[in-house]
Amino acid sequence: MKRKADSIACTYGAELFTLGWIAGMLSAFFGFGVPAAVCALLLCTVLRMLPKKSVFSLYLRIFAGILLGIAVWMRYDIAVKQPLLALDGSRQTLTGTVTDAEPLSGGRARYTLRTALAGRHISIDWYADADIPVQQTGGTVTLDAELTRIKPDYRYHTAAYQAGRGRYLRIYDAKLLEAVPDTGFSLRRTVADYRKCMTDIIRASLSPEDAGLFCAMLFGDKTLLSDEVRLGMNRSGTGHLAVVSGLHLVLFCAVLRWLLKKLACPAKLLFLLQIPAILLFILLVDASVSVWRAAVMVLLADSAVLFGRHRDTLRALCLAAILCTAFTPYTIGSVSFWLSFSAVLGIGVIAPHLTKNMQPGIGRDLMQFICLSVTAFPASVLLCGETSLLAPLCNLVILPLGTVVLWLGFLFLLTGGTLRFLLPAAGMLCRFIRFVTQKAGALPFSHITVTAPAMRLLMILCTAVLAFLLICRAKPKTLAAAAVFAALLLSLQNLLLTALNRSTLQAAVLGGTKNTALVISAENRTIVADLTDTPRNAQYVSRYLQDAGITNVDVMLLMSSRSAAAYQTELTDVSCGAVLLRDGSQLRGDTAVFGKDSFTDADGTVTLRCGDAEIKADENGLCILWNGMRVQAAETLPEEGTAASVQYGKNGCAVRLSADPPQQITESNLLLRLTASGGGSLTRLMKTPQI
């Protein structure tokens, strides 16, 4: 036992340390740093007292990683994040260099400035008004600016996405004091101009739809990518192709090496030339976390042969993860980091381990894509709320085509656009990719959505166990059996939660400060009731339906045709059985709702059925009657006689649950649950980030 433990500790020390490092940083990121550190120290002390010292040496690497990970994140939080957040609402005079410029509607523009705040060099976005002169990349501006914290908004994932890039502040109100254009040579501006030139050639040579997908795959530029294409790619599991990631860098380096080998370039010179080429590529695509991680891995892997070492993908991945999070700790909260990390782990470590005894062919390729999908499953569900079930099959078809598109694109870029005759072929392949992904994403079984906290907790535990088995180099049969057992556990828990939800009434209270819409669900039926006739409510409803995995709404109770137009624009991927407009009670669509006709009483009350629930709406609000309980939505909270009540309108939004003990939250975007036994809960809706 001692020899085996010592062998594992010595051989896989870096991997065990990385496991602890990530666990420590995550615990500190979620606010459990101090309790996690105390628990780690206590466990370390207990294991130190055991007679088998080899066990202590095995876990010492993990405990050291946990403590150091917590220390690094807490230092970043105290020294950088909190001082930046403290500047919210303050007015500062700052000087920064324009590193990126993007025109917006109405003559406005968004500029990314590299400046110094709170003693740190940071990047911050400045939303300039239309009367501000156009600024070029590389120029220097001096602003009298009011700093605004990026606040969470349930409709979007901007706050979470920007926090994963280390950005917590924005500038909306600023006076331009001085602007000094960069008249000298600027590498960043030169690369940006080259990218714009190549993009203009692509857009002039291809149709807008094909050019949009091609530019998204090549540069990560999604400005021409339609929402339908994005949704289809995400739900078919091929969304990674439209995000510049490690795959793109690996293919770029492969094309570069092929060209250099054709020029008889020596191996050492080829390795040295890769370094500036990778840096230029990072500037060209506005590097994401996954690109930096891939750059570290590529250089580590290619340097192994030069220095007489063997390639080890798992160790290179661990070193890349430590380097990325040590210098930029906010990366631990980045969705792209986790998706790319899990993807490389699946295709570069687990797939070769499980398929090493399989013969080459379609079966082996499919198994590799299954490994990729299974490994990315926890990150997709925990961070994005949903994952694709068709990812292995779709990637088996689409990924080779996407690889060909990228090869054609990189040849076009590396030759300065002289090979533009390759663009029609790339456009034809992009057209086929769009067709397949949209058809696959439209299938009802293409994806699953997981939002229940119990499911997420069990998934975290299963992932931790599988990660430990992987680091300890468990046999393929053991690893496969553990994965199957974890899948069975998750399936059984999902069936149990589904059965429990059948006896539950759910009402999502959505909207802004004073505008409210309700999404009522009972017995697999869903009703949307807009209470304030605000078109913006459709954005909140769309986000909730997407996060909850609801693709069919039985009826929409709206105030006017203006609201109906907004919902039609936002809910493009949701089918609706009927639309009832309150201004005249005109029913559009099927006249039967849940098998019964909806009707309007003489006093103007609209009555609907949602399973066993009866919903009545009039000009004063809305009332839900279910299992002898009453939920009232009005402009003022009723004092008594209701199981729950919702306030909206000029007095602001508030939700009160009359339970034991009573609960009240004065805000919107909440989920109210009532059970048939009379219990209930009131929780804030999760703001799950998108890929």
Q: What is the mean pLDDT of each run of 10 residues along the chain (691 residues)?
A: 47 77 85 75 66 61 85 90 91 88 84 88 90 85 92 79 85 91 74 83 88 82 75 74 66 72 76 77 65 69 62 77 85 77 74 73 66 69 66 73 82 83 89 86 67 71 75 72 76 70 81 85 83 86 82 82 81 78 51 43 67 78 83 77 83 81 82 81 65 34
Residue of 275, 218, 273, 210 whose CA lies nearest to 243: 218
Cα–Cα distances in angstroms (integers) from residue 161 to residues 237, 289, 307, 340, in the given order: 20, 12, 39, 15
For residue 428, the model assigns a pLDDT of: 92
| Residue 512 · residue 539 · CB < 8 Å | no
For residue 685, the model assigns a pLDDT of: 81
Give the DSSP letter string of 112-145: EEEEEETTEEEEEEEEE-TTSPP--TT-EEEEEE
Residue of 226, 227, 287, 333 whose CA lies nearest to 100: 287
The label of the residue with tokens 């019964």 reads: 596
**Strand, helix or coil at 672?**
strand
Whole-model pTM over 0.85: no
Give the DSSP letter string of 543-584: HHHHHHT--EESEEEESSHHHHHHHHHH-TT-EESEEEETTT
| Residue 493 · residue 519 · CB < 8 Å | no
- Please tell me the distance from the alpha carbon of residue 242 to that of residue 239, in angstroms, as a whole number: 6
Give every strand in the sheet of 578-581, ordered side by side: 586-589, 578-581, 555-558, 525-530, 517-522, 504-510, 670-675, 680-684
Cα–Cα distances in angstroms (integers) from residue 597 to residues 553, 577, 606, in the given order: 16, 13, 11
- For residue 80, the cross-strand partners are none
For residue 8, the model assigns a pLDDT of: 47
For residue 53, the model assigns a pLDDT of: 52
DSSP annotation of 473: T
- Please tell me the distance from the alpha carbon of residue 582 to that of residue 585, in angstroms, as a whole number: 5
Quick count: other Cβ atoms within 10 Å of Cβ 655? Answer: 25
For residue 47, the model assigns a pLDDT of: 61
The label of the residue with tokens 């695509």 reads: 285
For residue 691, the model assigns a pLDDT of: 34
Mean of the per-residue pLDDT values for the chain?
Answer: 77
For residue 145, the model assigns a pLDDT of: 92
Q: What are phi and psi of 642, to 5 degrees?
A: -130, 145
For residue 275, the model assigns a pLDDT of: 79
- For residue 581, the cross-strand partners are 558, 586
- Please tell me the distance from the alpha carbon of residue 533 to that of residue 198, in angstroms, as a whole number: 45
